[in-house]
């Protein structure tokens, strides 16, 4: 009975209506199939939005060249994949001028406007009753070749006191640093600053040098990486000076010397940081970092007076001792002095300037700059 009624209904339905109903049923079927295929292929609800860049799994960090570190030289600097440099210390600066505690005056000068090479020049308090000529000190700051400057409070304060105690005209060099400028840029800048100092001590635009400086008493000095620079612009670049003061200088090498650590991890760590600052241009036994491995270096040392200061707990102490021993064995005819501070670490005198030990060491350095 039911089948007859359905047959009668369909037979009485117009053709166009039958076609419309068939099309609607076919469209509904296709839509159902598409929805099921989409859900099966992507594994998610049809209503869930799709992303061209799926989210990373939990705990994963998306790659970002702005935040991905290429080299971590903490606690000094970080270099990121996109070339961004983040200095972690030694970035603060103070102005030049009169230091009321010592009477020392300072000013900033441009040595090369193209490269930005500059310096801070210091003049001790003058005796108004007579004209004086002072020794000239060309100073190179430390900071692992990557941080600090002559304008930081640390070095500005140190130079004010040293200039006052030693009675010298000082030029503190603002050389360009890694990683924006790999070694040997710092050496080249420093040698250019040396030539500028010599030129202006004879005649030039910097009257503090030619009026008050005695070029016959020119000294090169530096701490840590700056000590390395002072040594190298004399032995590798040909600078000439009466004296050379190396304050806890940075030198290293593949094989341990003296009582140096033999821990492969510790030694490799220092190798890697040297490779970083020179962009793998020089090996850890290159004369720039290991002069003790190249005895011929001493033949190019023009100075007749060398001061080496050491700190007992400094990892570079043994290198300083080996430097003096190598110098004496080389046939060098000058005088080498060594001063060691017990119970202190690397360049402690910069961070504890008023401590009894730092005051004593400062007096010894000042004496060297005046008596040599």
Locus of tokens 């910069």: 350
For the record, the structure tokens of 29 come out as 């079927």
Helical axes 356-371 vs 153-166, angle rounded to 10°: 50
Rg (CA), the chain: 35
For the record, the structure tokens of 351 come out as 């961070």
DSSP state of 5: H
How many CB atoms neighbour CB 247 within 10 A? Answer: 26
Cα separation, 146 vs 279, in Å, equals: 13
Task: Of 327, 335, 338, 252, give the one whose Cα is nearest residue 295.
Answer: 327
Strands 213-223 and 243-247: parallel
For the record, the structure tokens of 189 come out as 């800048």
For the record, the structure tokens of 196 come out as 């500028």
Decide if 175 contacts 233 (C-beta within 8 A).
no
Catalytic residue IDs: 224
């Amino acid at each position: 009975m039911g089948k007859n009624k359905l047959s009668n209904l369909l037979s009485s339905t117009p053709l166009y209506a039958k076609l419309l109903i068939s099309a609607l049923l076919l469209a509904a079927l296709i839509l159902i199939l598409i929805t099921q295929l989409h859900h099966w292929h992507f594994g998610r609800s049809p209503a869930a939005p799709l992303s061209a860049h799926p989210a990373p799994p939990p705990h994963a960090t998306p790659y970002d060249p702005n935040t991905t570190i290429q080299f971590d030289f903490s606690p000094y600097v970080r270099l990121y994949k996109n070339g961004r440099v983040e200095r972690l210390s030694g970035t603060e600066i103070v102005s030049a001028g009169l230091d009321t505690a010592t009477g020392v005056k300072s000013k900033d000068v441009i040595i090369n406007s193209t490269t930005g090479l500059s310096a801070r020049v210091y003049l001790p308090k003058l005796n108004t009753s007579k004209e004086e000529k002072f020794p000239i000190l060309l100073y190179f700051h430390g900071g692992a070749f990557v941080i600090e400057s002559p304008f930081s409070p640390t070095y500005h304060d140190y130079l004010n006191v040293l200039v006052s105690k030693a009675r010298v005209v000082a030029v503190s060099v603002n050389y360009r640093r890694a990683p924006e400028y790999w070694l040997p840029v710092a050496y080249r800048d420093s040698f250019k600053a040396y030539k500028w100092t010599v030129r202006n001590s004879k005649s030039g635009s910097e009257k503090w040098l030619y009026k008050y400086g005695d070029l016959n008493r020119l000294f090169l000095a530096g701490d840590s990486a700056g000590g390395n620079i002072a040594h190298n612009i004399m032995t590798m670049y040909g600078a000439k000076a009466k004296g050379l003061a190396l304050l806890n200088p940075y030198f290293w090498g593949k094989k341990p010397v003296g009582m140096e650590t033999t821990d492969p991890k510790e030694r490799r760590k220092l190798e890697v940081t040297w490779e970083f600052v020179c962009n793998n241009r020089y090996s850890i036994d290159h004369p720039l970092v290991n002069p003790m491995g190249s005895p011929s270096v001493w033949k190019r040392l023009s100075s007749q007076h060398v001061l080496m200061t050491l700190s007992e707990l400094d990892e570079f102490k043994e290198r300083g001792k080996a430097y003096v021993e190598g110098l004496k064995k080389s046939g060098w005819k000058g005088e080498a002095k060594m001063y060691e501070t017990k119970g202190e670490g690397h360049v402690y005198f910069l961070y504890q300037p008023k401590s009894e030990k730092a005051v004593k060491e400062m007096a010894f350095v000042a004496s060297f700059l005046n008596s040599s």
